[in-house]
Chain A
Amino acid sequence: RKEVEQDPGPFNVPEGATVAFNCTYSNSASQSFFWYRQDCRKEPKLLMSVYSSGNEDGRFTAQLNRASQYISLLIRDSKLSDSATYLCVVNHGGANNLFFGTGTRLTVIP
């Protein structure tokens, strides 16, 4: 079983739509969680950390459900510039223990 699993998509949504991605992880002892964004042929960049209580950054909301071992990312009012691949990342403890999902590809259509 993979450490981190994501639906690869693609998700094609119109501008202004709300879209949600889920990610599941296998290790119940995982300690910290992140969403990274990766544009085509570019490096991953941190989008936001995911906290137990859930957290919001503008149009982006991240949630963590430890009991079910999944993480979600909600994007409201999608913009064309949100088109990218979103990587779910789970840390088992220590920065050398990061596990990356394969990513969910989002395309926002005009």
Chain B
Amino acid sequence: NAGVTQTPKFQVLKTGQSMTLQCAQDMNHNSMYWYRQDPGMGLRLIYYSASEGTTDKGEVPNGYNVSRLNKREFSLRLESAAPSQTSVYFCASSGWTVGQETQYFGPGTRLLVL
């Protein structure tokens, strides 16, 4: 089991460029999430998908779009990158463990927008 995988690991963009962050999980989880982590702030939810075919906004969705391609894959797209989107992006999926729903994170994508 690879768990949650993300690509790319690192990316540098210029302001206005677009890119898609890819995420896949092999744990057969229904729910998947995209977070960003910035210094001095906790992880903040960008978008989530409770099941295949559904997506919903989280706390900080502006400037992002998502696609739940199938049960395994959940991608995050930046249409026109801005320096404020410089961050570390984590994808997660959740499943039930010992009576509680637990999130499992991918290794992260470090994005720098110049």
Contacts and interface: CB of A to CB of B under 8 A. Distances in A.
Contact of B105 (A4, A44, A91, A99): A44
**5 tightest A-B CB contacts, nearest first:** A100-B42, A43-B105, A100-B43, A95-B94, A96-B48
Nearest to A49: B100
Given A44-B43, A96-B31, A101-B42, A32 B103 contact: no
Interface string A30-41: 001010000001
B10 to A, nearest CB: 11
The majority secondary structure among interface residues of chain A is strand
Contacts, number: 49
Given A4-B42, A96-B31, A100-B44, 17 more contacts: A32-B100, A34-B102, A42-B107, A43-B105, A44-B43, A44-B105, A46-B104, A87-B42, A95-B48, A95-B101, A95-B103, A96-B50, A96-B56, A96-B58, A98-B103, A99-B42, A100-B43
A96 B42 contact: no
A103 B94 CA distance: 21
Given A96-B45, A96-B50, A101-B42, A43 B90 contact: yes
A25 B17 CA distance: 38
A41 B45 CA distance: 19
A32 B97 CA distance: 13
The majority secondary structure among interface residues of chain B is strand
Contacts of A49: 98, 100, 102
Interface in B27-65: 31, 33, 40-45, 48, 50, 56, 58
Contact count band on A: 20 to 34
A45 interface: yes
Contacts of A34: 102
A46 B42 CA distance: 15
Interface string A78-110: 000000000100010001101111110000000
B45 A98 contact: yes
Given A43-B107, A45-B105, A102 B90 contact: no
A32 B107 CA distance: 24
Contacts of B48: 95-96
